[in-house]
A and B are shown apart, each in its own frame.
Chain A
C-alpha cells in the first residue's frame, strides 16, 4: 500500500463515504487542522451525485437532479460557490390544458390560474414558509437530547416560541393545528385548482412513503420549504455547469482543507473494542487507525454491516433494523436525439422543473398500489432536462431527460426483475402523452428502481433520505433515539449521512453539523 498508510496512526479522523455529507464533514474537520482521510467504496466520490455514462455519448449527473436545500451556512463556511444566474420555474402539466407555471421562489407569480387562485396559493405558501421557518431553527444544530437539554437547546426553543407568538396568537394556534396535518386537507382549505393541489401533494410526498391524505404528510412540504435558494424559501436551481459541478465543489473544499480522499476503498469493518472505536479494516484486510470515525453512510450500513453487533448492543441494532428505509422513487435517464417539446409549454420553461401530475387525487391513487408492494400504473413525476444546463452531458443537438418517478416501492411483490420493463413502458407512454413525438427521439432509456439504486450506490433500501423522513424518525429519533445527536453508543464513532438529523437532500447539513459536534468536544 502507499506510504501514507504506513503512517496511518497520523490520522485524527476517518470519514467513511464520500457523498456530499461525508465530504462536508471531512472539509469542516480538515479546516480545523485535523488530519482527515475519506474512504469511498465507489471508484469516484460524490455519493448520489456520482455521474455515469448511461448510453454512448450520454451522461447522467447522478441521482439528484436539482438543488433546493443546499444550506447557505454550510457553503459559506466551507467556501463552496454554487450559483445560477437563471431562475428555475416549475411547470405542472396534465397533458391537456395550458400548463400552470410557478415563477420565482415557489410561485411568486403563477401563470395558468386565476388571480384569486394565485393569491390563495401565495397565502398558503407564506403561511407554510412561516411555519417551516419555526422548524428550521432545529435543523442547523444537533437535535435536542431528552434528559440533557442544554442552554443552546433552550435558546432554540425560546427563539422558536418567540417566532411563533411574534405574529400573534392566531398564527401560533394555526401552527399547532397544522403541524401534523396531511397536505391534502391543507390544500383543500386554501386551493381550488387541480394542478396547484397536485403540485403541493407531489412535493410533500416525493421520496417519502406517504400519500397526500396520509396523516402528517404536510411535514414533507415543510421540509422542502426549510430549504432556501439565494435567501428565498422554496426556490430551486441547477448550478452553472449543471449538477455535475456539485460533487467537485465539495471535493475541492475538502482537498483545500488537506483532506485525503481514497476511492475504490470499501470499508469492511469498524474496529471497536469495549465500546470505543479505534479504526477501520478495509475490505482487503488493511487496518487504518484513528481516534474518530465518522460514518457518512446509511446508518444500517454502519451498524448492521460494519460494527460488530456485540459492541453496539441488541436493543440498538434492533432499533436500526426496524428503521423504515424502503425507497419509493425510481430514477429515469433518457437519451434523446433532440430537445423534447412538452405540450403547450414555452421553450424557456423547458429549462425548469416539469411536474406531471393532474390532480391531488392522481397522486393519492398513485400511492395506493405502493402500499401493497406494487408500482403506480398512472405514476406522477418530476422532470428536468439536465443537458440544457450542462452541454457536456449529451452530443451536440441531442438532449438528456431525467425523471424522478413516484411510486416505485423498493420491495415489489412481483420482483423488479420481472416488472421493470412494464414500468418503464408505462413511464415512457406517460412521457409521450405529455410530449407527443418524444418516443421517436429516444436513443436510450435507463431506469433505476430503488433496488438498482441500493445496489449501485451502496444505499440500503435505495431511499432518498437514508430512512423515511416521518414524525417517528425525525429530530430526537433520527435515525434512532440512541444515535440521534451524531454520537452513537460507540465512543469515537459518529453518524453524518442523510440518515442523521436533519435528513436527506443536497443540504450538507448532516455532515457539517456532525463535524461541528465533534469539534465542540461534546459528550453524548
Chain B
C-alpha cells in the first residue's frame, strides 16, 4: 500500500488522499472460470476488511474506489492475463529465453518489427531498460552509432 498524496498533495483535493494497493495473489481465472463483477466486488470487500483490521475506521473514509482484477487490467491496458510483467519472471522466461527462445534480441520474426515491452529482457518494472536496449539494437541494424543515446533513467 502506498499513499502518494503524502508526497504530492496535488493528486487530490485539499485534505483528501489517494491510496493505491497491490494485492497478492489474484489469478487471471477464478476456479477455472472468468471473473465476474460479483467476484471482483467480493474480492475488494475481503481486501477492505483486512485493511480495516489494521486501520480502524478505514472503511468510513472511502470516498471513491476502483478495483482492477487481472480481467480489468487486461481489458484496459491490454496486458495478457493481467500479468504486470508481461510474462512470469522465471528462469525459463529470463535472459536469452525472454520472451521466448530465439527472439531474445528485440527482433521479431518480421523484419523491421521490434519488440521492447516488459516481455523482453530484462523484464518488467518501471525501468526503461528493455526500450533502451531495443533502441540500441535498432541503431545497430540501421548501422547508426549509438554513443549519443542517453541513459534510460535520464529519459524517465
A72 near B: Cβ within 8 Å?
no
Min C-beta distance of A76 to chain B, whole Å: 37
Cβ of B83 < 8 Å from any Cβ of A?
Answer: no
Contact yes or no, B101 A173, CB < 8 A:
yes
Of B17-25, B67-75, B88-96, B144-152, the one with at least 4 CB within 8 A of chain A:
B88-96
Which residues, 47 to 90 on B, are CB-close (under 8 Å) to A? 90
Selected interface stretch from A23-31, A174-182, A319-327: A174-182
Check A215 for interface membership: any CB of B closer than 8 A.
yes
Considering only residues 89-138 of chain B, those with a C-beta below 8 Å from chain A are: 90-92, 96-97, 101-102
- Chain B residue at smallest Cβ distance from A216: B91
Which residues of A have CB within 8 Å of B97?
Answer: 173, 176-177
Q: Is the CB of A174 within 8 A of B90?
A: no
CB of B101 within 8 A of CB of A180, answer: no
Contact call B91/A179, Cβ cutoff below 8 A = yes
Q: Which residue of A lies closest to B90 (CB)?
A: A215
Chain B residues lying within 8 Å of A174, measured Cβ to Cβ, are 101
Residues of A within 8 A of B101 (CB): 173-174, 176-177
Q: Which residues in B have their C-beta under 8 angstroms from that of A173? A: 96-97, 101-102
From B91, which residue of chain A is reached at the shortest CB distance?
A180
Q: Are B102 and A181 interface neighbours, CB within 8 A?
A: no
What are the residues of chain B within 8 A of A215 when measuring CB–CB? 90-91
A255-289 near B? 1/0 per residue, CB < 8 Å:
00000000000000000000000000000000000
**Contact between chains at B90 and A181 (CB < 8 Å):** yes
CB neighbours (8 Å) of A216 from chain B are 91
Report B-chain residues with C-beta under 8 Å of the C-beta of A179. Answer: 91
Cα distance A262–B99 in the bound complex, in angstroms: 59
A169: nearest residue on chain B (CB-CB)? B102
Q: Which residues of A contact B91 (CB under 8 A)?
A: 179-181, 215-216
Kindly report which residue of chain B lies nearest to residue A218, judged by CB atoms.
Answer: B92
Give residues of chain A (147-175) contacting chain B, Cβ–Cβ below 8 Å.
173-174
Smallest Cβ-Cβ distance to A174: which chain B residue: B101
For the residues of A in contact with B, the DSSP-based class is helix
Residue of A nearest to B100 (CB): A177
Measured in the bound complex, the distance between the Cα atoms of B97 and A180 in whole Å is 12
Residue of B nearest to A175 (CB): B101
The minimal Cβ–Cβ distance linking B109 to chain A, given in whole angstroms, is: 15
The answer to whether B90 and A176 have CB atoms under 8 Å apart is no
As a 0/1 sequence over residues 27 to 50 of chain B, the CB contacts with chain A under 8 angstroms (1 = contact) are 000000000000000000000000
Give A4 to B90 CA distance when docked, in angstroms.
59
Q: Are A180 and B92 closer than 8 Å at their CB atoms?
A: yes
Tell me which residues across on chain B come within 8 A of A178, comparing CB atoms: 92
Interface 1/0 per residue, A177-191 and B, CB below 8 Å: 111110001000000
Q: A176 to chain B: which residues have CB within 8 Å? A: 96-97, 101
Distance from A377 Cβ to chain B, minimum over Cβ atoms (Å): 21
How far in angstroms is the closest Cβ of chain A from B150? 33
Closest A residue, CB atoms, query B88: A185
Nearest CB in chain B: distance from A342 CB, A:
32
- Closest beta carbon of chain B to A343's beta carbon, Å: 29
Alpha-carbon separation in the docked complex, A69 to B100 (Å): 34
Closest to A215 in B: B90
Report the bound CA distance from A181 to B96 in whole Å: 15
Q: Interface centre among A174, A177, A185, by most B CB within 10 Å?
A: A177
In the complex, the chain B residue whose C-beta lies closest to that of A172 is: B101
* A173: min CB distance to chain B, Å: 4
Chain B's closest residue to A471 (CB) is B91
Q: Which of A196-224 contact B (CB under 8 A)?
A: 215-216
Please indicate which of the listed interface residues B92, B96, B101, B102 has the most CB atoms of chain A within 10 Å of its own CB: B92
> A185 — which chain B residues lie within 8 A by C-beta?
92
Residue of A nearest to B95 (CB): A176
Looking at the assembled complex, report how far the CB atom of A168 sits from the nearest CB atom of chain B, in whole angstroms.
12
Distance, CA A178 to CA B92, complexed state (A) = 6
Complex CA gap A177/B90 in Å reads 10
Tell me, rounded to whole Å, the shortest Cβ–Cβ distance linking B27 to chain A: 13
How far is B90's CA from A216's CA once the two chains are assembled, in angstroms? 10
In the bound complex, what is the Cα–Cα distance between A176 and B93 (angstroms)?
A: 10
Q: How far is the CB of A175 from chain B (nearest CB, A)?
A: 10
Q: Tell me how far the C-beta of A178 lies from the nearest C-beta in chain B, rounded to whole angstroms.
A: 6
Complex Cα spacing A174 to B90, Å: 15
In the bound assembly, the distance between CA atoms of A174 and B100 in angstroms comes to 10
Contacts of B90 in A (CB 8 A): 180-181, 215
From residue A212, how far is it (CB to closest CB) to chain B in Å? 15
Shortest distance between the CB of B85 and any CB in chain A (Å): 16
User: Which of chain A's residues has its CB closest to B93's CB?
Assistant: A177
Cα distance, A174 to B92, chains bound together (Å): 9
Question: Which residues of chain A come closer than 8 Å to B92, judged between CB atoms?
Answer: 177-178, 180-181, 185
B9 to chain A, nearest CB (A): 43
- Report the minimum CB–CB distance from A26 to chain B (whole Å): 40
CA distance A174 to B102 in the complex (A): 10
The CA-CA distance from A177 to B96 in the complex, in Å, is 8
Measured in the bound complex, the distance between the Cα atoms of B97 and A173 in whole Å is: 8
Complex-state Cα separation, A185 to B102, whole angstroms: 20
CA–CA, A176 and B101, complex, Å: 9
A177: chain B residues at CB < 8 Å are: 92, 97, 101
A216 to B92, CA, bound (A): 10
Contact residues of A between 355 and 373, Cβ < 8 Å to B = none
CB distance from B30 to the nearest CB of A (A): 17
Alpha-carbon separation in the docked complex, A173 to B101 (Å): 6
Q: List 23 A-B residue pairs with CB atoms under 8 Å apart, sorted by A's residue number.
A: A173-B96, A173-B97, A173-B101, A173-B102, A174-B101, A176-B96, A176-B97, A176-B101, A177-B92, A177-B97, A177-B101, A178-B92, A179-B91, A180-B90, A180-B91, A180-B92, A181-B90, A181-B91, A181-B92, A185-B92, A215-B90, A215-B91, A216-B91
A173-B102, A216-B91 provided; 11 other pairs, C-beta below 8 A? A173-B101, A176-B96, A176-B97, A176-B101, A179-B91, A180-B90, A181-B90, A181-B91, A185-B92, A215-B90, A215-B91
Binding site for A on B (CB under 8 A): 90-92, 96-97, 101-102
Nearest first, the 9 closest Cβ-Cβ pairs linking A and B are A173-B101, A180-B91, A181-B92, A177-B97, A177-B92, A177-B101, A173-B102, A178-B92, A215-B90
